[in-house]
Amino acid sequence: MIDAKQAMELRQRTGAGILDAKSALEEAGGDMDKAIDILKKKGAAKAAKRGERKTAEGVVACYIHHTNKLGAMVELQCETDFVALNEDFRQLANDIAMQVAAMDPLYLTPEDVPTNDLEKQREIFMAGMAEENKPDDVKEKILAGKLNKWYSEACLTKQAFFKDEDTNIEDLVKGKISTIGENIQIARFVRYQM
């Protein structure tokens, strides 16, 4: 039997509703880590369902580093002005602005990488493997791994969240979609540095 204390702890760790937390704990047999994974999967499913909804509201969040020589702006969109005024939504926007300032992404998503830039990276990685005596299919797998690693550095949505290295920005946004209940999209960002 799952007690309320466990459910509250899971709720605090994930931001999930109390009933969802209790249900996930029951499904996981009381294992907190498994329950977190279950909630992440359910959150991703909810986010996918909401992903097609139009986002016409939102906020622009700014972060200026204490040296006043580095700053970032992020446009985070949602469906309604009610959510745009929500403290959790605004905190997410601020966190993403700090992420942009700290991690200096070049692109929003892997799909936003221009073909020329992608081909240049492929050439660099292939040149590095030219001397290796490996079959072409093995080289292709290595290339795919290197590109995924590069995406995790160059693309904002694939970067590890600076406050929690186990979560990337894409999963962070999906988690907020599941708790807030609306589609949320990062529309654009810009970073300035002197």
- The CATH code of the domain that includes 175 is 3.30.479.20
Residues 122 and 97 in one domain: no
51-65, 142-156, 170-184: range with highest mean pLDDT? 142-156
- pLDDT of 47 above 60: no
Residues 165 and 82 in one domain: yes
CATH number of the domain where residue 30 is located: 1.10.8.10
pLDDT of residue 39: 72
Residues 104 and 163 in one domain: yes
- Percentage above 70 pLDDT, the chain: 89
Residues 78 and 138 in one domain: no
| Residue 127 burial (CB count, 10 A) | 9
User: For residue range 65-105, what is the model confidence (pLDDT) as tens digits?
Assistant: 999 999 999 999 999 889 999 999 999 999 999 999 999 99
Residues 39 and 63 in one domain: no
Question: With the CA atoms of 174, 176, 177 and 182 taken in that order, what torsion angle do they form, in degrees rounded to the nearest 10?
Answer: -150
pTM of the predicted protein model: 0.71
pLDDT of residue 4: 77
pLDDT of residue 1: 67
Residues 147 and 170 in one domain: no
Residues 142 and 170 in one domain: no
Residues 173 and 98 in one domain: yes
Residues 96 and 162 in one domain: yes
Rounded to an integer, what distance in angstroms lies between the CA atom of residue 175 and that of residue 91? 13
Contact in structure between 100 and 189 (CB atoms under 8 Å): yes
Residues 64 and 97 in one domain: yes
Residues 66 and 101 in one domain: yes
pLDDT band at 15 (very low <50, low <70, confident <90, very high): low
pLDDT band at 46 (very low <50, low <70, confident <90, very high): low
Quickly list H helices, 16-131: 18-27, 32-50, 81-84, 87-103, 115-129
Residues 27 and 122 in one domain: no
- pLDDT of 45 above 80: no
Overall domain count for the chain: 3
* 190 CB-side CA count, 13 A: 4
Domain that holds residue 141: 114-153
Q: Once rounded to an integer, what is the mean pLDDT over residues 145-169?
A: 95
